[in-house]
Amino acid sequence: MSAALRVVVTDANLLPLRDELVGLLPAGTEVSWAVGVHADELTAALRTADVLVGPALTPEMAEAAPGLRLVHVAGAGTDRVDPAALRPGITVANTFHHEGSIAEYAVWAAIDLRRDLRLADAALREGRWRSSVYDRGLPQVQTLGAARVGFVGFGHIGSACWQAMSAFGASGRAVTGSGRVDAEAAGLDWAGTTDELPRLLAESDVVVVSVPLDDRTRGMIGARELGLLGPGGVLVNVARGPVVEEQALYDALRAGTIHGAAVDVWYSYPGPDGHARPAALPFHELENVLMTPHLSGVTRQTFLGRVQDIAANITHLAEGRALERVVAPQPQEASA
C-alpha cells in the first residue's frame, strides 16, 4: 500500500468546506490548512507536501516542497502558478463549476437592467411610484423573453447563460474566437467568429461577455462597439474588466449610449483588506450600472463542485490513476 498523501491547502475559499473536503479524501490523507499563515509556516508545511491546493505556486514555494506532485487550483484561473516553478513531476489541474452561478447572475442582471428594478426600488423608498402606470413619461419595460441576447464567448459560461435565458423565450446569437459553435445544435439564431462582433452587437438587446482575457480580446469592446449596441442595449460583463475599454464604457453609460451595464469584473482589485475603488473612473456615481465585486460565480454550490473535483484528483493520484482537468504540463501533440 502506498504511503498516505500529504495535502497543503492555502485557499481561503475552501475553509467553509473543510469538513466536506476532508470527508472525500482517501483514508489516511494528512491535510494541513495553511491559509493566511506566515511565510515560515507555509514553508514548513510544504516540506513534506505531495499536493498543494491553492491559487498560487512560486519558485520559492516549489523549492520548499521537493516532493510536490500536484498543484490543484480551486478555480479556473491558473495565472498565479509561475511556469518557472513547474519542475518535471509537478502537474497543475484546475476546476470550474461556476457556470451555473454565473448564469443565475446574468439572468438577474439582465432582468434588473431591462426593467430598471433597482431604480423602482430606490424611488419607492422615497414614496415615489416609479412605473409607467403612474409616470406617463416612462416607457413600458420589456421582459427578458423578448430580448435578443448576444454572447461574446460561448464556452461553459456562455452556454450556461444561454440555457438559462432561453428558458424565458429569448433568442440568441454568439461569436467566438474559433467560430466553431454549432448554432443549430445550440438553439441559436446564428453563430460566427469575433469578426462578426459588430453584427452581433447591432442585433442584440442584451450582450453577455465571457471571453478569456488575452491579447486578442483586450479592449475588443470600445466606443464603436458600444455605439452599435445602442441606447436600448444592456451589457453584462462576467469575463475580465479590460475586455471592455474602461473609458468607453464609462462614457457610454454616462451619455446614455447604452441603457445599462452589469459589471462584475473590474480594472483594479483590492489587497487582503478588501477595500479599493474598482476603477479609476467614478462608475459609482452612475445609476445605470450594477456594480458587483467579482462575485457572480462565488456560491457554496460552486465550491462544493470544486471540492469534489479536487478530492477526486487526489484520490486518482493516491491510486496511480490518470489525473483530470490537467492544465500543465500540456499533453504532447502527436508527431505528423
Mean pLDDT to the nearest integer, 173-197: 98
Question: Are residues 197 and 242 located together in one domain of the fold?
Answer: yes
What is the C-alpha to C-alpha distance for residues 183 and 277, in angstroms, rounded to an integer? 39
Sign of CA dihedral 180, 183, 188, 190: positive
Secondary structure class of 189 (helix, strand, coil): coil
Smallest CA-to-CA distance from 109 within 218, 277, 238, 222 is with 238
pLDDT band at 36 (very low <50, low <70, confident <90, very high): very high
User: Does residue 335 lie in a domain region?
Assistant: no
First to last CA, the chain: 41
User: Does residue 128 lie in a domain region?
Assistant: yes
Residue 83 has pLDDT above 80, yes or no: yes
User: Does residue 268 lie in a domain region?
Assistant: yes
Residue 20: enclosing H or E segment and its boundaries?
Answer: helix 18-24
Whether residue 71 contacts residue 93, with contact meaning beta carbons closer than 8 Å, is answered with: yes
pLDDT tens sequence across 192-215? 999 999 999 999 999 999 999 999
pLDDT tens sequence across 124-135? 999 999 999 999
Question: Are residues 190 and 206 located together in one domain of the fold?
Answer: yes
- Domain with 172 in it: what CATH number? 3.40.50.720
pLDDT band at 333 (very low <50, low <70, confident <90, very high): very low
Whether residue 162 contacts residue 212, with contact meaning beta carbons closer than 8 Å, is answered with: no
pLDDT band at 313 (very low <50, low <70, confident <90, very high): very high
In the prediction, which pLDDT does 139 show?
96
Question: Are residues 245 and 265 located together in one domain of the fold?
Answer: yes
Residue 31 has pLDDT above 50, yes or no: yes
Mean pLDDT to the nearest integer, 106-120: 98
In the prediction, which pLDDT does 20 show?
98
Mean pLDDT to the nearest integer, 21-37: 97
pLDDT tens sequence across 213-260? 999 999 999 999 999 999 999 999 999 999 999 999 999 999 999 999
Question: Are residues 192 and 227 located together in one domain of the fold?
Answer: yes
Domain housing 317: 6-97+300-328
User: Does residue 334 lie in a domain region?
Assistant: no
CA 67 distance to own-chain centroid? 32
Residue 97, CB half-sphere, CA atoms under 13 Å: how many? 19
User: Does residue 333 lie in a domain region?
Assistant: no
Question: Are residues 206 and 116 located together in one domain of the fold?
Answer: yes
Question: Are residues 194 and 133 located together in one domain of the fold?
Answer: yes
Residue 336 has pLDDT above 70, yes or no: no
Question: Are residues 233 and 146 located together in one domain of the fold?
Answer: yes
Count the domains in the chain.
2
Question: Are residues 63 and 109 located together in one domain of the fold?
Answer: no
**All three cell numbers of 241:** 474588466
Question: Are residues 104 and 88 located together in one domain of the fold?
Answer: no
Question: Are residues 264 and 304 located together in one domain of the fold?
Answer: no
In the prediction, which pLDDT does 119 show?
98
pLDDT band at 283 (very low <50, low <70, confident <90, very high): very high
Question: Are residues 84 and 226 located together in one domain of the fold?
Answer: no
Smallest CA-to-CA distance from 208 within 152, 262, 256 is with 152
What is the C-alpha to C-alpha distance for residues 59 and 56, in angstroms, rounded to an integer? 10
User: Does residue 336 lie in a domain region?
Assistant: no
User: Does residue 223 lie in a domain region?
Assistant: yes
Residue 332 has pLDDT above 80, yes or no: no
User: Does residue 103 lie in a domain region?
Assistant: yes
Question: Are residues 323 and 268 located together in one domain of the fold?
Answer: no
What is the C-alpha to C-alpha distance for residues 80 and 55, in angstroms, rounded to an integer? 6
